[in-house]
Every structure is written in C-alpha cells, then in structure tokens.
Amino acid sequence: MIKLQGMEFYAYHGHLPEERIIGRYFYVDVEVEAGIDKAIYTDNLKDTVNYQDIYNIVKREMAVPSHLLEYVAGRIVNSLKTELPTIRKVKVAIRKNNPPLGGKVECAEIQVIK
C-alpha cells in the first residue's frame, strides 16, 4: 500500500458559481494497492509506483474545474489506473473545508474506491 496524505491544492470546484470563480483549498488523500513486492528486495524505483507520478496526476486533475468532487475523484482514480498500470486498487478522498452550507461545518469529504 502506498499513501499520499494531505495534498493541498487551490482549485475551483463546486456547484455554486461563486465557488468556481473564487476557489478554495482542497485536501486530497490517495491510497493505492500496487505491485511493490519486488521493490522490497531490489531498492529500485522502477519496481514500484513513483510517488511523484501519483502527485502529478492528482495535481493535473485537481486543476480542472468541476461541479462535483465525486467527478474529480473519479477522474483521479481513472487516470491513476490508466497511467500507472501496476495499480490494482485506488482510494481517493477529497475534502472541502468550510463548505457553503449555511452553518458551521468543518469539511465535506467524498471518497471513491475502485
């Protein structure tokens, strides 16, 4: 299992027009199950999934404004599995702090596991 936790991105996601104009910080956690067994013995990056590749894919997908976090997470999952074929399973969680819900809410979080 490989995890990247607390990745922070300023992005323009949300159903309300103001959210796509003003933007806000989002936090992303990614967990991947991948073929990393060989790297345990070889100490060679080519035998695992490079964290930088995961981060770059997440960053690219977070930069595309969307109405729904579910859609963003789905794109991240699909891109990770397509571009890094040794990945067997992916869990993506995206948090929006202080969502505009008319009351005090620390964050809204969605998770997609595929």
Chain Cα centroid distance, residue 94: 6
- The values of phi and psi at residue 110, to 5°, are -120, 155
- 102 or 82, which is more confident: 82
Say yes or no to pLDDT of 37 above 90: no
Q: Which two tokens stand for residue 19?
A: 């959210």
The percentage of residues in the chain with a pLDDT greater than 70, rounded to a whole number, is 100
pLDDT in tens, 49-75: 999 999 999 999 999 999 999 999 999
| pLDDT band at residue 36 using 50, 70 and 90 as cut-offs | confident
From the candidates 3, 81, 91, 96, give the one annotated as an active-site residue: 96
Q: What is the pLDDT of residue 65?
A: 96
Q: Which amino acid is at 46?
A: K
Q: Is there a catalytic annotation at residue 96?
A: yes
Compute the C-alpha angle 54/48/76, nearest 5°.
20
* Continuous segment of H or E residues that includes residue 108: strand 107-113
Q: What is the pLDDT of residue 41?
A: 94
Q: Which two tokens stand for residue 3?
A: 């995890």
* Sequence-ordered list of residues with C-beta below 8 angstroms from that of 100, at least 6 positions apart, any chain: 14, 16, 18, 19
Say yes or no to pLDDT of 99 above 90: no
What's the chain's average pLDDT?
Answer: 94
